[in-house]
Structures are given as C-alpha cells and as structure tokens.
Amino acid sequence: MRIPGTRQTIDQGDLDAVTCALQRDLLTTGPGVAEFESAFAQATGARFAVALNSGTSALHAAVCAAGIGESSGGSAEDEVIVPAISFVATANAVLYQNAKPVFADVESNTLRIDPADVRRKITSRTKAILAMDYAGQPCDYAALQEIADQHGVLLLADACHSLGGKVSANHSTKKVGSLADVSCFSLHPAKQITSCEGGVATTNDESLAARMKAFRNHGISTDHRAREKRITHQYAMESLGYNYRLSDVQSALGLSQLHRLEKFTARRQHLAGLYDSLLGECDFVAPLESDAADGHARHLYVVKWKPEIAGCSRDQAFTAMRKSGIGVNVHYQPIFEQPYYQRLIVKGAIEAARCPTARQVYSQILSLPIFPTMTQAEVHDVVSSLKSVAATWRRKTEVAA
C-alpha cells in the first residue's frame, strides 16, 4: 500500500528496551511483566493491570474471572450481551466459556453498543454486559452501568480500540481502563501501542485481578518467581487456565511504547480533526459522530459511504481505493453474520440476532488510514482519492443515463 491503513511506530528507545530485556536472566515470568503492569494501571487509572499474550486472551480472562460458564462456576445457560458490530473475539470470548453471546444492536451514528437495546435484551440469564469502544470512542458507560446495577450483572469493556481515551462528566475525568469492572486492551501492532502481540486487563477489584493472573498461568496460583522466593517447588492448580502469559521482552517493548501513549493519541486526534475538516465538503461520505472529541482515542477513522450520491457502492469504492494503493478497510461485518455463528443459530445454540441497524450500516462503513506517523499530505491524498473515486463513478452513471 502506498498509504497503509495502519502502521506501528518503533523508535530507538523501543529497540534499546528490547535489547536490554534480552540480556536479562529471565525472558519471561520475570520482573519486567510486573513493571509493565504497574505502569499500565497508572496510565489507565486502574488499581490493577494483568498482562496477557493478546487482547483476545484478556477478553477470555475477563469472562472467566466473572464466573461465566460451567468451567468457572456458572452455567451453560449463562448469557453475555455483546455488540453486533465488533471483531469476532468479543463474542468468541463468551463461547470459549461455553456461554451464550446475545447480540445487541449498535447506535447508527457511532456504532457503539446501544444501551436501549441492551436493556431490551437483558434477562435473568444475563451475567454480564460486554461493551466495545468502537473506533476508539468510549461507550456510554453511565447508561450501561445503570443497567448493570439494576440487574446485578458485571460490566465488562472491550477497550481494544480505546487505550488513551477518557470520559469527562460532572466536572471529573476518568480514563478508559477504569470505566468498567474489567477493561480489556490489545497490544497488537495496529493498536495505540504495541508489544508485538499482547493484551492487558485492568480492574479495581483485587479478586478479579487474582483470578485473571491465575487464568493466564494454567490456573496455578503462583508463578516461577513467587515459588523461587518461597524456596518451594510445589504449586497448586486451583482452576482451569491457559498459557496466556506475556513475556518480559514483550513487556519491555510495551512499557517503552506506553511512555509515548499521550503523544500517539494527540497525533491521532489531530489527524482525525484534519479528516473532519477536509471531508466536510464531501457530500458522498459522512464521518461517524463523536460525543466527546477530546476523549476519543481515534484508533479508526470511519465514514459512512453514501452510494446514492457517490454513484457506486461501498465495496466498489473499497476496491478502487485499494487499487490506487490506499489501505482502506471495513470494520466490521456483524459478528452474527459470520458462517460459524450462522451455524450456531441454525442449530439453536444461540438466538438469531435482531439488529437492524448493524445490518444496515455494514454496507456503508469504510475505515480510512490513520496512524501516528501519517503525514498531513497523506491525509490530503486519501481525501483526494476518495473524491476521484466518486467523480469517476458519477461520470459513469451520467454516461449510462
């Protein structure tokens, strides 16, 4: 791609941090993980942070720690309300626990989970609400928390898009990572910061943090360093867990990147503002709305394509932009439309989703390139290419008429 959809930002400090970690005695289960967790908790305003090997692992750990599913002391009938539009991992984490995802529709103007539809779909079987901060904009956690409190369920956050985001209300500001009972982050190279692959779960609940730490280590309550300090070889597997550990080398990269989070976020917000300005004169697209521009982490910049004005479909625009070397993308097809979920619905394992807004907006949404090292000239180039695509198809339509 001439202009990729996203790109990681690695500097000499990152290289030095990784080199230093590689020279330590412990490449994994060493002190570097705890150091990274402490800094991450501070950066997100949470009491505890648990580092894992992916954002998906963080989601799985959160659902397990919440006691959802038979393997965690729950039931196979347990339900978790999830957004219809998200990456598949959001709902997959519920299936991993042999529980049932229930799809709630999204807000048409933001594509975040719709609290009104959450309220409609919550039942006595609901054990948690799992919201997702689409494109980097925090969900309406005040509304979701009210619903969760009324029904006595946990509020979980898929914050894989929103590290660096915040919510301001009632003369106070809270950071993403401290807005739900557990918040889950991804450290994939496409995200705000990276550890190559990795994830983090944050919480203010010490017992939830302890459960997630055991879960990432096969359900064992102590790790190598803890046993070494106690001079013992014995360990206890208290529950079923997985090998979801993050290494010290990855933690070193994550910590180095974390120091530049505010800089990365500010740059993304600047580029989004430039897009807003340039696209204001384009009648064939409509950027998603933002309730609080200063709190939007801007992981993605998503527009709604207007085929009736542009003269072509979103998919035709996608193909034309890709052929011109610009890495546009689509985030995401409704999860329930994926073949695996369709088979589950046919079998009656999960209920068919009634999410008309998600079905409608999927054919319209288009993600434009955005990443910290993107230049203003590249933003102008993307917008010019969009205009060119629309102009070309409009001419074709006029000729055909």
pLDDT tens sequence across 108-135: 999 999 999 999 999 999 999 999 999 9
Q: Which of 201, 236, 258 is the last residue of a domain?
A: 258
Two structure tokens written together for 213: 């730490």
Per-residue pLDDT, averaged over 295-303, amounts to 97
> What residue spans of 48-170 are helical by DSSP H?
55-65, 89-96, 115-121, 141-151
Give the C-alpha distances (Å, rounded to integers) separating 319 from 282, 356, 362: 19, 26, 16
Cite the beta strand spans of 145-192 per DSSP E. 154-158, 166-169, 172-175, 182-186
SS3 for 235? Answer: coil
If asked whether residues 241 and 316 sit together in one domain, one would say: no
At residue 360, φ and ψ (nearest 5 deg) are -70, -45
Residue 1 located in a structural domain: no
Q: How far apart are CA 318 and CA 390, in angstroms?
A: 11
Q: What is the CATH number of the domain that holds 294?
A: 3.90.1150.10
If asked whether residues 265 and 244 sit together in one domain, one would say: no
Residue 177 located in a structural domain: yes
For the stretch 247-257, what's the b/e string if a residue is b when 16 or more beta carbons lie within 10 angstroms of its beta carbon? bbbbbbbbbbb
pLDDT tens sequence across 214-273: 999 999 988 777 788 788 888 999 999 999 999 999 999 999 999 999 999 999 999 999
If asked whether residues 249 and 286 sit together in one domain, one would say: no
Q: Which of 221, 238, 258 is the last residue of a domain?
A: 258
Range of the domain at 355: 261-400
Q: How far apart are CA 245 and CA 387, in angstroms?
A: 46
Q: What is the CATH number of the domain that holds 244?
A: 3.40.640.10
If asked whether residues 190 and 316 sit together in one domain, one would say: no
pLDDT tens sequence across 367-400: 999 999 999 999 999 999 999 999 999 988 777 7
Pair type for strands 172-175 and 166-169: antiparallel
Residue 329 located in a structural domain: yes
Q: What local confidence, expressed as pLDDT, does residue 158 receive?
A: 98
Residues pairing with 126 in the sheet: 79
| Chain position carrying tokens 């993600």 | 367
Element (H, E) at 304: strand 301-305
Q: Which of 237, 258, 279 is the last residue of a domain?
A: 258
If asked whether residues 29 and 173 sit together in one domain, one would say: yes
What is the number of alpha carbons within 13 Å of residue 207 lying toward its C-beta?
A: 2
Give the C-alpha distances (Å, rounded to integers) separating 253 from 12, 57, 59, 85, 257: 11, 19, 21, 30, 6
If asked whether residues 322 and 369 sit together in one domain, one would say: yes
If asked whether residues 69 and 215 sit together in one domain, one would say: yes
Before 341, cis peptide (omega within 30)?
Answer: no
Centre a 10 Å sphere on the Cβ of residue 279 and count the other Cβ atoms it contains: 21
Question: How many structural domains is the chain composed of?
Answer: 2
Q: How far apart are CA 230 and CA 323, in angstroms?
A: 60
pLDDT tens sequence across 72-119: 889 989 999 999 999 999 999 999 999 999 999 999 999 999 999 999
SS3 for 353? Answer: coil
Cα-Cα-Cα-Cα dihedral sign, residues 334, 337, 342, 346: positive
pTM of the model: 0.96
Residue 59 located in a structural domain: yes
Q: How far apart are CA 373 and CA 189, in angstroms?
A: 13
DSSP class of residue 76 equals: T
When pLDDT is cut at 50, 70 and 90, the band that residue 292 belongs to is low
Residue 50 located in a structural domain: yes
